[in-house]
Structure 1
C-alpha cells in the first residue's frame, strides 16, 4: 500500500515537467483556449529638455589705438521664416539684410534695324505770321542701340500767312516783312537720332510697353514761297467771285532742325511717335518767281508800252509768264501783280525763321 502511494506521488510530480519540455507541435491547442492579445505600446514620455548653457561673457575688446571715432555698424536682423532665405536668381527674396538692385535690358533691341515713320499730321504751333500743316516721312537706321542715322522729309500741303497778318493787310494795308512771313513748302534733311533714356510701363495691367526718349538733329534744303496778294473778290458778269491768293516762288533755302520726343513701342515691330521739331531756315527775299528788282522794272515798263514780255531782255531765271495773261474764270489780269512783286523785292529783307511743329505718327521696324 505504501509503495503504491509513493509511485503515484512520483508520477504526479513528473507530469507537469514533461509537459513543459514537450514541443508545442506535439499537443494542439484546445479550441476553448483563450486567444492571446498583444498589448498596445504605451506612448513614451519625452525627456525633459535640458536648458542650454548660457554663453560665457566675452572679454571686452580694447578700443583701437587711433583717435578716429568708430563707425556705427547696423545690427543684422534675425530671420525667422525659412522662406525668406529662398534664393531667387542667387539672392534671398525677402531677406531684410539683403538689398537687390536689378537693371533689365530692353525687351526689343534696336541695333541694326530699320525704322519707317509716317507722320500723317504735322502742324505748326508758333504761328505768328505764318501757318503750316503737312505730312512728314522719316527713315531711320539704328546703327547702335542708342544712335541712328536719319533721313527726313516734309511736305506742307497748307502754307499761308497767319490770320493776324492777313487782317493787317485787309484793314491797315500793312504786313510783316516778306522774309518774316516766308512760307516753307517742302523740306528734305539728313541727320542723326540718339536715345539717351528708355524704360517701360504697364498698360491695362496686361501689357508691358517700352518707351524711349529720342533727340534728333539734321540739316538740308527747303523750298519756300511768299504771298504776293491774298484772296480778293471780283465782280464777274454781275456775280461776286473770289480770286484765289497768289503766291510767288522764292527758291530753295538752307534748312536745319532740332527736336525731341517719345517713342512708345508695341511689340517687336510697331511704335507710336510724338515729337516736337523746330525747323530753322534762312529767309531772304530778293526775287519772286525768279525775277529780281531789275526784271520787275522792265516788266512794269513793258506793261505800260504794251511790249511783249519775251522781248524785254529779262534774266534767264525770271518766269515772266506768271505775270502775263488773264484768268478765264475770274477775269483777273495777272499783269496787275507786277507792282506787288516789285514792292516785295524793292527792299530786300532777310531773317531766320523758326517753324516749331508738332509731329504725331507711327513707325514700322524691321
Structure 2
C-alpha cells in the first residue's frame, strides 16, 4: 500500500495548477493565474503524467408525459394535401394596400366628411341640417315659359307663398301673371296663309291665375358643391286649384294704309271671363344655408275653355251690333245685355284710323259656334325663395 500512495502523491504534485475540479458539479474551474497568463500560439503537448480531463455527464431530466397525438379529420387531411397550381391567380388574404395622400389638404374635413381622401370611405345618414317645420317661404319666379305651345304661347312671372306645417307637408298659395300671351306662330301662320285657325276654345289664352293648394316633400338629400360646401336638396310635389282670367284673339296684327303711309295695327283680343284653374307639378329645391334656396319646377296648369261670350257680349248682342253698325245708330240704345262691353266695338283709332266697328263681325264668328275644351299649359318655373 505504501508504494501506491507514494505514486499518487507524486502525480498530484507534478500536475499543473491551472484547472481545479469543483467539489460537487465536476466542472473544471479556471484559476486566476491561468486567466492572466498569455496564450501561446504553439500547441502544447500534454505530458504523459498529466491527468486526462473527463467531461461531466449531464444529469438525466425527467421525461415529459406522453400525450396522445391529435386525430385529424378528413377535411384537415384534404386541407394539407397540396393543391395543383392553376393558371388563375389566387386571391390574396392580405389587406389592401393603403393609398398615399400627397396633398395634405385632402385630409381636411368638409362639414365632417373627408371628401377626397382615398383611404376613407364614409357611409353616413344624417338628418336635415335645416328644418322646414314652422317656416314661411316666399318664392319668386321671374320668368315662366310655356313648353308645350301648340296653339298658344305664354311667358310670365309667378309668386308662391308656402307655410310648412310639417317637415314634409305645407300649405301653398300661388299667383301668376302672363305678361305675354298670344296664339302660337303655327296658328298665326294658318290665319295668314289659308285663312284658317284653331277653334276659339283650343286657342284660349290665360292672362292671370290664382290658386291655393299643398306642397309635399317626399325625398331630400345633400351633395358636394365646389369641394367645400354641402348643399341640401329636396324633391317637391305640389298641386292646387283656383280661378284664372282668359282672353281670345279677335284679329292678329294688320297693316293699315293712311294717306300713303303704312301703320301696323296691334292685335285685338277679347275678354272671355274667368275659368276654373287647376295645377299639378314637381321639381327640386336646392337650399343654401338656412334661409336661401333655388327652385326648379315643371307645373301643368289645366283650365276649362268655353267661348260663348267675347267682352261680355253673346250672340244676340253681336247680332244687334251688326244691324246697327251700318246705320250709325248709337249702341247704347240697343238694349244689350248688362255685361256687354259694346264700347270696345265702337270708335276709330286716332293714329291708325282703324274703325273698331269692323271687329263686330269677327266677334260674332267666334261666338256663333260655341266651343269648349280643356287646355294644358305646361310651364317651366325657375326662381329663388326666402325662408324665415
TM-score band, normalised by shorter chain: 0.7 to 0.9
Instruction: Show the counterpart of 1:270.
Output: 292
- 2:205 aligned with 1:183: yes
SS of the counterpart of 2:202?
A: helix
Q: 1:230 aligns with which of 228, 248, 252?
A: 252
Deviations 1:303-337 (A, max 9, x none): 12221000000000000000000000110000000
SS of the counterpart of 1:305?
A: coil
Unaligned runs of 5+ in 2: 1-66, 74-92, 96-120
Question: How far is the alpha carbon of 1:103 from its aligned partner?
Answer: 2.1
Query: In structure 2, what is the Cα distance between the partners aligned to 1:303 and 1:57?
Result: 122
Instruction: Show the counterpart of 2:341.
Output: 319
Instruction: Show the counterpart of 2:367.
Output: 345
Question: How far is the alpha carbon of 1:197 from its aligned partner?
Answer: 0.4
Query: In structure 2, what is the Cα distance between the partners aligned to 1:148 and 1:121?
Result: 24
Question: How far is the alpha carbon of 1:287 from its aligned partner?
Answer: 0.3
Instruction: Show the counterpart of 1:283.
Output: 305
Question: How far is the alpha carbon of 1:59 from its aligned partner?
Answer: 11
Structure 1 ranges of 4+ moved more than 3 A: 56-60, 99-102
SS of the counterpart of 1:105?
A: coil
Deviations 1:90-147 (A, max 9, x none): xxxxxxxxx9964210010000000000000000000000000000000000000000
Instruction: Show the counterpart of 1:152.
Output: 174
- 2:381 aligned with 1:359: yes
Question: How far is the alpha carbon of 1:57 from its aligned partner?
Answer: 6.4
Query: In structure 2, what is the Cα distance between the partners aligned to 1:122 and 1:100?
Result: 40
Instruction: Show the counterpart of 1:164.
Output: 186
Query: In structure 2, what is the Cα distance between the partners aligned to 1:321 and 1:59?
Result: 112
Provide closer, same or farther for how the CA distance between residues 58 and 78 of structure 1 changes in structure 2, counting only shifts above 3 A. Answer: farther
SS of the counterpart of 2:190?
A: helix
Question: How far is the alpha carbon of 1:78 from its aligned partner?
Answer: 11
| TM-score, length of structure 1 as denominator length | 0.73
Aligned-CA RMSD value: 1.9
Instruction: Show the counterpart of 1:310.
Output: 332
SS of the counterpart of 1:296?
A: helix
Query: In structure 2, what is the Cα distance between the partners aligned to 1:257 and 1:361?
Result: 18
- 2:242 aligned with 1:204: no
Unaligned runs of 5+ in 1: 1-53, 61-76, 80-98
Question: How far is the alpha carbon of 1:238 from its aligned partner?
Answer: 1.3
Query: In structure 2, what is the Cα distance between the partners aligned to 1:271 and 1:220?
Result: 26
Provide closer, same or farther for how the CA distance between residues 244 and 100 of structure 1 changes in structure 2, counting only shifts above 3 A. Answer: closer
Query: In structure 1, what is the Cα distance between the partners aligned to 2:235 and 2:173?
Result: 19
Residues 207-218 of structure 1 aligned to structure 2 (within 5 Å): 207-218=229-240
Question: How far is the alpha carbon of 1:237 from its aligned partner?
Answer: 2.0
Query: In structure 2, what is the Cα distance between the partners aligned to 1:239 and 1:140?
Result: 54
Instruction: Show the counterpart of 2:5.
Output: none
Instruction: Show the counterpart of 2:23.
Output: none
SS of the counterpart of 1:165?
A: helix
Deviations 1:234-259 (A, max 9, x none): 01121111000000000000000000
Q: 2:152 aligns with which of 111, 130, 133?
A: 130
- 2:317 aligned with 1:295: yes
The structure with the largest alpha-carbon Rg is 2
SS of the counterpart of 1:310?
A: helix
Query: In structure 2, what is the Cα distance between the partners aligned to 1:177 and 1:334?
Result: 23
Q: 2:281 aligns with which of 259, 265, 271?
A: 259
Deviations 1:211-252 (A, max 9, x none): 000000000000000000000000112111100000000000
SS of the counterpart of 1:181?
A: coil
